[in-house]
Chains A and B, each alone.
Chain A
Amino acid sequence: MGLFSLVTMDHIRNFSIIAHIDHGKSTLADRLIQLCGGLQDREMQDRVLDSMDIERERGITIKAQTATLQYRAKDGKVYELNLIDTPGHVDFSYEVSRSLSACEGALLVVDASQGVEAQTVANCYLAIDLGVEVVPVLNKIDLPQAEPERVKEEIEEVIGIPASDAIAASAKNGIGIEAILEAVVARVPPPRGNPEAPTRALVIDSWFDNYVGVVMLVRVVDGRLARGDTIRLMATGAEHEIDKVGVFTPKGVERESLECGEVGFVIAGIKLLSEAKVGDTVTLAARPAAEPLPGFREIKPQVFAGLYPVESSEYDQLREALEKLKLNDAALQFEPETSQALGFGFRCGFLGLLHMEIVQERLEREFDQDLITTAPSVVYEVVTKKGEVLRVENPAKLPDPGQIEAIREPIIAATIFVPQDYVGPVLTLCNQKRGVQQDMRYHGRQVEVRFDLPLNEVVLDFFDKLKSVSRGYASLDYEFKDYRAADLVKLDILVNGERVDALSVIVHRSSAQQRGRELVVKLRQLIPRQMFDVPIQAAIGSHIIARETIKALRKNVLAKCYGGDITRKKKLLEKQKAGKKRMKQVGSVEIPQEAFLAVLRTDEG
């Protein structure tokens, strides 16, 4: 290794971008990379077209917006700027916190016409708490509806940082990009750390690559990491020898070592993602650090749902697909589960609803799985009469009411940002969802509302309702707060006299009657008519609280089938049959897939 690659820490700047979805984070990242010469124009083109596909080079999967940039600043010096990617959604706030704690600075990118959103605020507070220098950037400044002065005020008001010198930019049209890089150099402090101390590197992110195994993105806080070193992951104790270290430009470029303060990748022949957890500390086996870096947390799934193959013969394929997803998604949990209604499937744990949707979509798109998903549930703590505390992830597994002393449910602290005009409906919604108001603050046009809400109300249909009562303007952030006892009951659904375990939900007693009513009405609409009358009942224990009947289909024989042309009638029946493919036979009744999610959408239609 040559002398010139030894960069003193004064020349390093580690920073992330905090932005709401659609506010232009990836475009801005691309511009920064382009200006620093990280990618040729042609490569930029490819990147814009398909950011997933250029990521194969030297057999290493590259993360979209993580890059080590060489920038010659106006002071004539060359700086190593490490741009660290952050996930942008509420479900991944822990990952965001790890990314931010690897940085000394963050660009707060706010849409100059839309202003501040809850997610941005939450991440910004996180950054400030971690001592990260926040540099505000007003993006899309060239749009006619841009209101830079109002948005600056909003930033000062809501986030509480000075914004008068916020940088006016347009990532799309390349305005203000150099000013941003200069601000990073001038305002973000260089990393601090002890190059002589035992090595400590923070795992910012880790992912599985088919060619090289687990790739870790790390920030070296103390000491250094070099090829051939034997590392130890302090949370899991796993030890591995480093095959490769390097940086992303964003193309992967191998180096001899990563020095104190730097950000880069480490490949060490690790096969399991669970050995390289985000937030863990990498140290050297030969000279281990005494204490890991602070802040590591085991991530626990908050939301659970049953995933079942439509065709029971595809159970093994579903398991293989989940195993493959798990390779690259340490937060995903699953274990086999059996449902009387749905057969063999898996109880899966997710960080949140978005995470659940992503997993579902990937299973269907990438692995071609036909799935039936049950309504999402949270983890309840059930205190039995014997004094045991059980964790119940599946409503069907709730013990007999006679054995239950108390049920405790997870409560979240929710922060909602909403324009003044929609505050009323948002408060009403939160109250309906058994929320307890904690705080309400006016920041100019925006109102910040804080509520404690039961997570089980949020996982059902809260997001959709919040969006609809605020015409899409409200934004939400939340974090787990605590478990609280509540008067909860299990609501069962009986179809044709048979309890359908996959349709059971746990609800508050006060809303059981109404929910039961809504559910049976919804199911009556969703379950096709059969050859006989089918009663749909909602019950708490043996007590029936609501009932609807699906009237029998009068007949389904074609009136006319003549003239020797059988093709059209055959196609008609084939189409009908294909429609039934996504149905599950429960007893003698065919129940369509949508019915299992009916609890989510009880008041549509």
Chain B
Amino acid sequence: MTKPDAYPVTPPNERESYPAPSKPPPLAVYIHVPWCVRKCPYCDFNSHPQRGALPERAFVAALAEDLAHEAALVSGRTVTSIFFGGGTPSLLSPDAIAAILQHVRATLSVAANAEVTLEANPGATEIAALSAWRDAGVNRVSIGVQSLDPVGLAELGRIHDAPTAERTVAAALEVFPRVNADLIYGWPGQTPQGAEAEVMRLLALGVAHVSAYELTIEPNTPFAAAPPAGLPDETRLGAIEAAVHAVLAGAGFSRYEVSAFAKPDHRARHNLNYWTFGDYLGIGPGAHGKISFPGSGILRTRKRAHPNDYLSAGQHRNRPDRVQGLDTSSVTNPYTAAAHWVQADALPFEFLMNALRLAEGVPRPLFTERTGLPFAAIADTWERLAARGWVVDDAARLACTPLGWRYLNTVLEAFLDPMVC
């Protein structure tokens, strides 16, 4: 059994305060499937190469148990979306997905119109499974296309080819009304013209949601250890990005979040819940959760990350390894590796780190509604940033200006420390 990661433990004292919203926000469920056929060189998610058959039965049982523990924290609340992320959730059999969703519905109250998304890789097996996923209750799929250029797919270390990706997207659109395709731009050798052609081919298939991410070299990935040669320079990267955005805009997609593009009514509700600082249960290895308790505080949880550690957690029946903050007697989930209550000084940053990713931002009252803090907590900083032209000076909204949106890190830094400049 691996030791859970250390979490900074600060003993509570009278100076600390844990704000809480007066009523709970919407609730989502995130389910993490930690296996992949092979790990991609750019990926820093909690994913592990699959070795032999997946321990599906044990995994479903563990998720169910994990879920049962979490349900105690959100009794009386209704789930508005469910998301299977990974890893590669499509490696699970449709039966396993059905069983997991059954457990969710049996344990929690799920809204009738809840969005249920499954991340899937392009592939023949996936195409064959599409209708079974639908029958299991999935109503949206997110396909890891990443590129439609053979060079791009090779550079990104993907195991599928472009025709398979196109076939998978097309087939998914026949089964599901809502389909997302993930794209990565900025890989070695990519040109603006090539990027434009890729997006056009993708849109020709009829998807109404695209997530277009700039390739980022994350720490602790193979790309960080040995950066790929030939990455585009700033000028070319800017041109590639402009080309991608232009094709999407021309096709009627709105860039509603930094990397998310959608036609009307196709925005990802599950992700919007993160960006509007809603609550979510994190089920599965390494999953993160956020749960608001009116009058008590906002709890962040993290599950045991390694699949083996997670799968064996139920046998130990022990308490989480590390819990920080207020009364945590309610946190008894043995699958939890760490939990802490969010302190007042961290909340503005955490809220805005999400909310300001949205092009339109959020209504100003949402800040108080979701954090329990008065707007006065950030008023001075907000005003200063507004004066620099980085955020909007609008009594009704919290949003970046187009300039501030491009330099969001700089904007957010202002909320990391109340003593800034």
Contacts and interface: CB of A to CB of B under 8 A. Distances in A.
Q: Do A and B interact with each other, yes or no?
A: yes
Interface of A: 531, 551, 553-570, 573-574, 576-577, 580, 585
Main secondary structure of the interface of B (DSSP, over half): mixed
A573 B214 contact: no
A564 B409 contact: no
Nearest to A532: B403
Nearest to B28: A564
A569 B356 CA distance: 14
Nearest to A561: B357
A561 B353 contact: yes
Interface residues of B, number: 41
B169 interface: no
A354 to B, nearest CB: 36
Contacts of A570: 349-350, 353
10 contacts: A558-B216, A559-B214, A559-B259, A560-B216, A563-B45, A564-B290, A568-B44, A576-B409, A577-B417, A580-B413
Contacts of A568: 44
Contacts of A565: 288, 302
Contact of A562 (B271, B410, B416): B271
Nearest to B182: A560
Nearest to B409: A556
Nearest to B420: A577
B375 interface: no
Interface in B254-296: 258-259, 271, 274, 280, 282, 287-290
B353 A564 contact: no
B413 A557 contact: no
Given A561-B357, A564-B282, A574-B416, A556 B408 contact: yes
Greatest chain B CB density within 10 A among A562, A568, A574 is at A562
Given A554-B238, A556-B409, A564-B289, A569 B353 contact: yes
A557 B404 CA distance: 9
B213 A559 contact: yes
A558 B350 contact: no
Contact of A585 (B216, B282, B421): B421
A560 B185 CA distance: 13
A530 to B, nearest CB: 9
B406 interface: yes
A560 B44 CA distance: 11
Contact of B408 (A557, A562, A577): A557
A564 B280 contact: yes
Contacts of A557: 258, 357, 405-409
B67 to A, nearest CB: 16
Contacts of A576: 409, 413
Nearest to A577: B413
B238 A577 contact: no
A582 to B, nearest CB: 14
Contact of B403 (A531, A554, A560, A566): A531
Q: Which 10 A-B pairs have the closest CB atoms?
A: A557-B408, A555-B406, A556-B409, A565-B288, A564-B288, A559-B214, A559-B213, A577-B413, A559-B216, A556-B407
Greatest chain B CB density within 10 A among A554, A555, A568 is at A555
Nearest to B237: A554
A567 B44 CA distance: 13
A564 B301 CA distance: 10
Given A559-B216, A577-B417, A566 B407 contact: no
Contacts of A551: 234
A580 B410 CA distance: 11
A573 B237 contact: no
B407 A531 contact: yes
Given A566-B350, A569-B353, A555 B259 contact: no
B274 A564 contact: yes
B288 A573 contact: no
Contacts of B368: none
Interface string B12-46: 00000000000000000010100000000000110
Contacts of B413: 573, 576-577, 580
Contacts of B289: 564
B354 interface: yes
